Every structure is written in C-alpha cells, then in structure tokens.
Amino acid sequence: MARRVLISGGAGFVPSHLCDRFIADGWQVLAVDNFCTGRQSNIAHLLGNPAFELLEQDVSVPFTVAGPVAAVLHFASPASPIDYLRLPIETLQVGSLGTMNLLEIAREKQARFLMASTSEIYGDPLEHPQRESYLGNVSSIGPRSVYDEAKRFSEAAVMAWRSARGVDTKIIRIFNTYGPRMKTGDGRVVSNFVVQALRGEKLTVYGDGLQTRSFCYVSDLVDGIVRVLERGDHMPYNLGNPGEFTMLELANEISKQIGQVEIEYQPLPKDDPTRRKPDITRATTDLGWTPKVPLHEGLVAMIADLRARLAAGDA
C-alpha cells in the first residue's frame, strides 16, 4: 500500500506543489486546509485523483485522522505579511495550537514530522549570511511578531515533542520562495511586482528599495524539502537560494522581461528586515542540495502563470 502523508496547508502556494510531488513519487496525500489564505484552484487538478484526499479543517482545533500516516508536514500558516497582519490571532494559533495538534497526530501515528519554519526566525539579522546557528534579532511586540514568534514557538514545540515524546522530527527554515500559484493579491514582492507589471501599473517599492532578499524557485524548495524529510537530521536546515537581490534589482529584472515599468516609492513597513541571505552549507553538505533555478529563469515561469491566470480571471 502507498505510504500516506498529511500535508497541512495543502491548498497553499508551496504546499500544493508538495502535494503534486508526493503524488508523483507514489504517496497517498491527505491535504488539510481551512482555506484562510489558500485557494481551491491550487488543488483543483488533484480532486478526483484516488491518491489525493482533502480534509477541510482548521488545524488549530484538535482533530483526528483515520488510518495510517507515515509523515506529517506542517505547512499551514498565513505566510505573506499582509495575510498574517490581517490574521494575527489565527497566525499565533496555528503556530502554537496547530503545531502541537499535528505533533500529537504524528506521535499517535508514529509518523515522521516536518515543520515548515522560516527565515523570519532570524528577524532583522545582524549576521549575514544567516547560518542555522544564528539566534536572530526578533521583536516580540512588533507587527511581524505574530508570525516570527509563532514560528519560533513551533520550533521549540518540535524539539520538545522530539525529546519528551519521541517523535522523529525535522525543521526547515524557508527563505523567500516564489513561483506559479501565488495569489495575484498575495502581497509578497515577487507576485506584487509581476502582477503590477502585467497590468501596466507602477511597481510599489517600499522604502528605498535597497533592502535585499534571496529568492528561491518553488521546485528547488520542494526538492530540498523531500531531501530533508528522507535523510536530514533533526536540527534546522536553511532552504533558500543564496542569490541576493535588492528590490530595485528585482524590479529591473521584471521590467527586462515584461517591458519598461515605472516605480512608485511607498513607505517601508515597520521592522522590515534590511538584508536576508541563507547560508546553505548544511543542506549542501548533508543532503547534496543546491538550488538550480536562477531568478531570471524562475521569473519566466512565474510570469507565464500569472499572465494566463489574469487573462482567465483566476485570482
């Protein structure tokens, strides 16, 4: 019988690609989602596939799952700043109650557990690039704290369920990932800029546009996740593409591909990290993982997807 994986947040951007990957690899996939930020259309192509099950459920509320589960991948959480600022309490709940509920399911099923943590663990980092050993520079009361602290709590819970309850656990810290299926109104920078450029609107650059991020294409991330699940150890792994770009460089690359665009400068949100770049030595050394898709290439696929969806009215 096929191994069965529970993917929380399965209708979201990254986890819907994971559903595809696990089904392609011969797994039975149970996606659990309450659709607070996810989209039916991300998984519409899987409905009716006997290898795919969908449970509409808020994972912050205790629930049970019938039948065997070999792995639990916890990806449920608002992830875009505009989403977690709109859903602050729900974000804290899913990173605390949700994580503990899913760890209990993993314990009961004797399943391996993988936590989708984030580069936000490092806050506005004072170490550059960020290694997993860096403890971070995080505000516990700023606007981003609902997300950052929820993920920090999640990591603590994972370590405790490992040591006190014997769950086989993995933690990944994901750096800014982009690709097809991001919502047109997602609010994160790559989808914002691409949608604005395709609509002939000005690109909204926050602050002076000199802050940096390192953008990972979703297929590279998915490959890293599978490697961590299969053979990673229990300490956190950074997963991201070390290519580092300012927001103005990103705007320039998108303008090269879509056509000349104007820029509208808007205020920088409070506590917006100044620089971010993963040190991926651990994932490369332990797992042989390196991202393959450079930004300009990933943007081609993302632009094609968003162009088609805008034309079809699929937000």
Check binding of 142 to ligand UDP (CB under 6 A).
no
Q: Which amino acid is at 20?
A: D
Among 5, 13, 146, 282, binds ligand NAD (CB under 6 A): 13
11 binds, options ligand UDP, ligand NAD, none, Cβ within 5 to 8 A by partner type = ligand NAD
Per-residue contact string for residues 11-50; x = within reach of ligand UDP by CB under 6 A: ----------------------------------------
With b meaning 16 or more CB within 10 Å and e meaning fewer, what string describes 257-279?
A: ebeebebeeeeeeebebebbbbb
Among 38, 224, 236, 291, binds ligand NAD (CB under 6 A): 38
Q: Could you identify the residue written with the tokens 């996939």?
A: 29
Check binding of 154 to ligand UDP (CB under 6 A).
no
Check binding of 189 to ligand UDP (CB under 6 A).
yes
Name 129's Cβ contacts closer than 8 Å, sequence gap at least 6: 242, 244, 277, 278, 279
Among 76, 247, 295, 306, binds ligand UDP (CB under 6 A): 247
Name 186's Cβ contacts closer than 8 Å, sequence gap at least 6: 13, 80, 82, 83, 192
272 binds, options ligand NAD, ligand UDP, none, Cβ within 5 to 8 A by partner type = ligand UDP
Per-residue contact string for residues 181-210; x = within reach of ligand NAD by CB under 6 A: ------------------------------
84 is catalytic: no
Catalytic residue among 84, 122, 134, 147: 147
Check binding of 176 to ligand UDP (CB under 6 A).
yes
Angle at 223 (CA atoms; ends 217, 229), nearest 5 degrees: 135
| Number of neighbouring beta carbons within 10 Å of residue 293 | 20
Q: Which is nearer to ligand UDP, 212 or 284 (CB)?
A: 212
Helix (H) or strand (E) holding 29: strand 28-33
Among 45-53, 66-74, 199-207, 278-286, which window interacts with ligand UDP (CB under 6 A)? 199-207
Minimum distance between the CB of residue 150 and ligand NAD, rounded to whole angstroms? 9
Name 279's Cβ contacts closer than 8 Å, sequence gap at least 6: 129, 130, 131, 132, 238, 242
- CA 116 to chain CA centroid, Å, is 7
- Distance (Å, whole) CA 152 – CA 121: 6
Listed residue (272, 278, 238) closest to 124, CA to CA? 272
Contacting positions for ligand NAD (CB under 6 A): 8-9, 11-15, 32-38, 58-60, 75-79, 83, 94, 98, 116, 118, 174, 176-177
**Site residues (vs ligand UDP, CB under 6 A):** 81, 176, 188-189, 192, 204-206, 211, 213, 247, 268-269, 272
